[in-house]
Structure formats: C-alpha cells, structure tokens
Structure 1
Amino acid sequence: MTIQFTTPSNSSFVSTSGVGLAARDEWTPLYSDIDLSLDREDGIYWCYLQPQSRPSVTPELLRDVTSMQTMLRSRLAQTPDAQLPFKYFVVASRTPGIFNLGGDLRLFADAVRKGQKLLLQAYAHACVDIVWNNVISYDSPVVTMALVQGDALGGGFETALSCNVIVAERSARFGLPEVLFNLFPGMGAYSLIARRIGAVEAERMILSGKIYTAEELHRIGLVDVLAEDGQGEAALRAYAARQSRSHNAMQAVFRTRNRVSAITREELRDVVNIWVDAAMRLTPSDLKKMERLAAAQDRRCRINRADDNAALIAAE
C-alpha cells in the first residue's frame, strides 16, 4: 500500500463572479474531502472537513488538507499583512453530529500486521505537519479556530486542540480512546494539552480514555467558547466580531504563547516516532480491539447516512 499526502491532483481552481461565501477564487480551490469558502466580509476562511468514506482522518482527507495548507501558506506569504482577505481560519465539519472520529484505525491495524512501519510513520508525520501549521497560525497574523459540533475523538480532538481557539456546542463530546486498544494519541495531544492545563492533566486524560463533554472542557480551559446546540457558527462569528478591534493584540498573544510554551515541529515528530514504535508492538488482541472500535464507528456512520436519507425523503 502506498499513500500520497501532497498530490493536489483532485483539486481545481474555479473562477466565478460574485462576492462573499459564493465566490471561488485562487484562495478556495475545489477538493473532494474538504470544502473551502472565504467570507471576506467577516474576514473568516472556512475549512469544512467532509471525508467521502468515513469521518476519520483518512489518507484522502490528509492529502486534501496537506494540499490546502501548502497553498494557503504560499498565498499568505505572498500577500502583505494589510491586504490579507481574512483574520480567522476556521476548521469545522460537514458531517452532522461528528467533527472527526480520529485516525484511520483499519489502516493502522493493517499496517501493523504487515510490518509497514514506514507507512505508519508517513501517515503520522503528515498528521503532525497539519497540527503544526494550525499551532503556528500559518506563520501569519491570523487566528486559527475550531468549531466543534459533534464528536471530536482521537486525532479529531488533536485537530481541535491545535487551533488557537476552540468553539464547541454544548452537546459536543471529546475524548482520546487510544488507551482502549493499548496505544496513546501520538499526533500532538500530550504536547497541546500539557501546554494548556499541565502535564499531569494531560496524562490523566490520555490514560483514562474518558469521553468529556464540551461543558467539562470549558470548565478546565480547553474549550474557549461554549455555545448552545445549533448556535456554534453564530457564537463563533460573534466572538470574531467582538475581537475585531483587538485582533492584532490577540494574534500577538497567541504567537507569544507559542514562543513561551513552545511546541516545535521536531517535538511533534519525535512523539510520532514513539507512537509508531508503540503501534508496532501491539498484540493481535490489541488489534482486534482497534478493529472493533473501527466497526462501531462504521455502524454509526451508516446510521447517520440512513437518518440523512430519511430526512431528505421526508423533505421532498
């Protein structure tokens, strides 16, 4: 099995007329597994996750996000700060009730059984490179935000944690279930949680496998804005509007956070290598538990699709 994460062959640029969310230009190429839109009026760049197979960190999703980030870093570097068309980069999800369920567990199990250590390492390095770009705000004066409406588990939780600000609806759930199959979340969770609330709490969360509510994480400082169900986007827009006059100060504070409590790309990759070594030591019993969790996720996705189809039929 080979995996390519940097090939943008599935994207295309579309020139359209119009303004606001309906307009597509060089900032918003088309992809299959993410949906991009640029709201110039509110200064928000939206990146919606929409994996076509399952709402996890699939190789296809990695490929599209990697391509998008490469494009975005290039355009941001070429554009003077005063001319940037947005101040906020937001990652959200098009899947109802699910932000992202985390790593591709079937890929993991198959790679471990076949001894494909390099494949796991390539996958994990691609994941932490994405995390790193969110952490450093693309080396630009933008604020990265996550809008979580539904479950953010494993790598999905790590994606949200990599952003400067997390907005979550009250029914959203967060967790790191890797300990259930004798592994740990290796794509940034420890570094990101420890920086916000301390290493002891990071280890407690990682080793418990507990599922947390948005309200619980808001109470301990991991969720920044708690919104009522169905009001997440409105809450995010209101937050951005409130901070508009102090945006320069806010992004500078987040840059200072990254300097004072620095998370380096090397640190993330070193932890990834620990994760790969640990994954390669998983037993057949551990892999069966991993696959049972993957099967449970697949069943949930089928139920979601059935519910969506029923709603469409009812609306016709």
Structure 2
Amino acid sequence: MTAYDLKMATDIRDLRLAKTRDPRDPDGGIAASFRLEQLDTRYDPDTQTLWTDMRARTRPSFNADLLRDFVRWQEAIGLAADGVAMPIRYVVLGSGFPGIFSLGGDLNMFAQAIRDRNHDALVHYGRTCVQILHRNMRGLERPIITIGLVEGDALGGGFEALLSFHVVIAERGTSFGLPETLFGLFPGMGAHCFLSRRLGAARAERMIMSGRTYSAEELYEMGLVHNLAEPGEGRRMVADYIRQNHRRHSAHCAIYEASRAVNPLPLEELEAVVDLWADAALRLTEGDLKRMERLVAAQTRLREKAEA
C-alpha cells in the first residue's frame, strides 16, 4: 500500500466513525465530514440537495489532493444519505473558478511521471479518477440524482467527468472538448466508455480524434447536455429543475437504474482503458511533453488572471 492509499484509507475510516457521532455537533459528525480543502459544500434541507463547488488550489484541474477530497466527499454523501439528519436526494457539482468548470487532468504530474517512466503513478491516478466517476454514475449506490452544473469551459477530464452525471445543465456560450490528441494522447478517464454508449462507437471516436471544441448548444443537440441556461442563470435553472422534478425523484432514480441495467458499464472496463492510456502516455516524445507543459503554463496564467 502506497502512502497515498494509506491516507485515503484513513480518511474513509474517519468518515465511517463520523456516522456514530451526533450530526448536529459542529466539531464532529456528518456535517464536519464535508469540510474539505478544495470542495465547498452547502446543504439545502428544503430540497435535500447538496451543492458543491470545486476550488482547486492551483490550476483548475484535478490534482491528487482534489481527487482525495472527492473520495471523502462521496463517502460523506453516502453516510449522510443513509441517515435522517442530512438526507440527500440531489447532488450538484459546479466550479468556483470564473469561466472554467475544469481543465481536466493534472498535466504537470503526467509529464513528470512520464519522464520518470512511472507507469504505476499514471495508473493509480487514472484508476482513482474512474472509480470516482463510476460511483457518481451509479448515484453512489443510493437513490441520489447527480447534476453537473457548467458555468464555464469543461475540457479533457473535466468533460469526461460531466459524462458521468445523470443530468448536465450548462450555460450558453460554454465550451467542451477533448484536446488530448493535440499532444499525442487520448482521453483515458471514461470518454470512450461513456460516449460510445451515448453516441455509438463511430461518433464517439470521431469526437475524440477531432480534438475540436464543442459548444454547449451542440452538445445539447447531441443529448449530452440536458438543459441550457442563459449566461449567469445556471444555478437558478438547476434549482428550478430540482423543484419541478422533486415529486418525480423516485421515478427518475428508477429510470437511471434501468438504463444502467440495459447498458451496463463495469468498473473493470473503465480501468482497462486507463491501463491502455498509461501505456500510451509512456510512448510520448519529448516534443509531446513540451506541448503538454505549454498547456500547463497557459492554465497557470488563467489562475493568475482570475486571482488578479
């Protein structure tokens, strides 16, 4: 077991212990489990909705600590949904970064692992990602509907993450894309699996190989975005969607469960693609890595501009 695995296991053990504490206690219990470094949460008891915003501490991408926060977040949701103090029917994930939902994987970490020929690090990162997405796709094995709120661009792994949500609500003018082919790679955290089931294998491959950017309006026509909101109105539309469908919650959960039964996506399939992705990553050239690092620099400038 690596140090990362040990820390993850300790976090999950602490969350399970929290279930035995009084959830009204501000220093313990379920509520305390949602105090995470890079995820901001707010619970609405009227609609039994957990609103969450990503707050990546560096670039708006999925760094290793943010992934660990997601694992803890999912565990806490499961425990809360099982209880009476904080029942959860809907989970909404958005971003606190202006104009960006997520730019995807930790490219800086990828480049370093590739230079070090560290295949295990790439596989571990990828498998952690797809395990999170697989749980999200399955509503954390609870009667929970997951909603992706897109108020800014979703690229690479950010787009892949959204494909695991039951409902995606995006503001007009936002962009989606899978740019990995621009530096000699392919999206390895679920795009093939999710898109093939939604669009068919041929259309999925065409989208992945194009490397192009798609608008929210285009994805709405494809059925990958479920509702379009005007700029600045995404959160209001999500709240309206939950309020309008609250009485249909059980029926919607059953429909999503039936869809998974008809067209199952085993975790093993997602993990097998991760292994292929890690193999492909180690075949990248130094030129590919330099293009990857130029993207990292561009992401860093975005962060600096937002802070300014």
Question: Normalised by the size of structure 1, how large is the TM-score?
Answer: 0.88
Q: Secondary structure at the match of 1:243?
A: helix
Q: Quote the residue 2:61 is aligned against.
A: 56
Q: Sequence identity, in percent?
A: 41
Distance in 2, matches of 1:131 and 1:90, equals: 14
Instruction: Give the 3 Å change call, closer, same or farther, for CA 17–72 of structure 1 in structure 2.
Output: closer
1:95 Cα offset (Å): 0.9
Q: Secondary structure at the match of 1:141?
A: coil
The Cα offsets for residues 25-75 of structure 1, whole Å up to 9 and x where unpaired, read as 614521111112211112211121111111100011011111221232344
**AA aligned opposite 1:127:** C
CA contact (8 A) 2:45 2:86 kept: no
The structure 1 residue matched to 2:38, chosen from 26, 33, 37, is 33
Q: Quote the residue 2:298 is aligned against.
A: 296
Distance in 2, matches of 1:238 and 1:15, equals: 32
The Cα offsets for residues 94-121 of structure 1, whole Å up to 9 and x where unpaired, read as 1111111100001000100001110111
Distance in 2, matches of 1:253 and 1:17, equals: 34
Q: Quote the residue 1:150 is aligned against.
A: 152
Distance in 2, matches of 1:139 and 1:166, equals: 19
Q: Quote the residue 1:104 is aligned against.
A: 106
Q: Secondary structure at the match of 1:26?
A: helix
Q: Quote the residue 1:177 is aligned against.
A: 179
CA contact (8 A) 2:47 2:246 kept: no
Q: Quote the residue 2:94 is aligned against.
A: 92
Distance in 1, matches of 2:296 and 2:176, equals: 17
Distance in 2, matches of 1:241 and 1:275, equals: 40
Distance in 1, matches of 2:23 and 2:267, equals: 37
Q: Quote the residue 1:314 is aligned against.
A: none
Q: Quote the residue 2:203 is aligned against.
A: 201
Distance in 1, matches of 2:3 and 2:296, equals: 21
CA contact (8 A) 2:189 2:274 kept: yes
Distance in 2, matches of 1:192 and 1:51, equals: 25
1:242 Cα offset (Å): 1.3
Distance in 2, matches of 1:45 and 1:150, equals: 20
Distance in 2, matches of 1:29 and 1:193, equals: 31
Q: Which runs of 5+ in 1 are unaligned?
A: 307-316
Question: Normalised by the size of structure 2, how large is the TM-score?
Answer: 0.90
Distance in 2, matches of 1:239 and 1:30, equals: 27
The structure 2 residue matched to 1:69, chosen from 68, 71, 74, is 74
Q: Quote the residue 1:229 is aligned against.
A: 231
Q: How many pairs align? A: 298
The Cα offsets for residues 287-306 of structure 1, whole Å up to 9 and x where unpaired, read as 11111111111112211211
Q: How does 1:252-291 map to 2 (within 5 A)?
A: 252-291=254-293
Distance in 2, matches of 1:113 and 1:264, equals: 31
Q: Which runs of 5+ in 2 are unaligned?
A: none
The Cα offsets for residues 75-94 of structure 1, whole Å up to 9 and x where unpaired, read as 43x448xx872211111111
CA contact (8 A) 1:186 1:271 kept: yes
Distance in 2, matches of 1:36 and 1:142, equals: 16
Distance in 2, matches of 1:107 and 1:245, equals: 44
Q: Quote the residue 1:42 is aligned against.
A: 47
Distance in 2, matches of 1:245 and 1:61, equals: 34
Distance in 1, matches of 2:98 and 2:290, equals: 28
CA contact (8 A) 1:51 1:60 kept: no
CA contact (8 A) 1:170 1:214 kept: yes
CA contact (8 A) 2:40 2:55 kept: yes
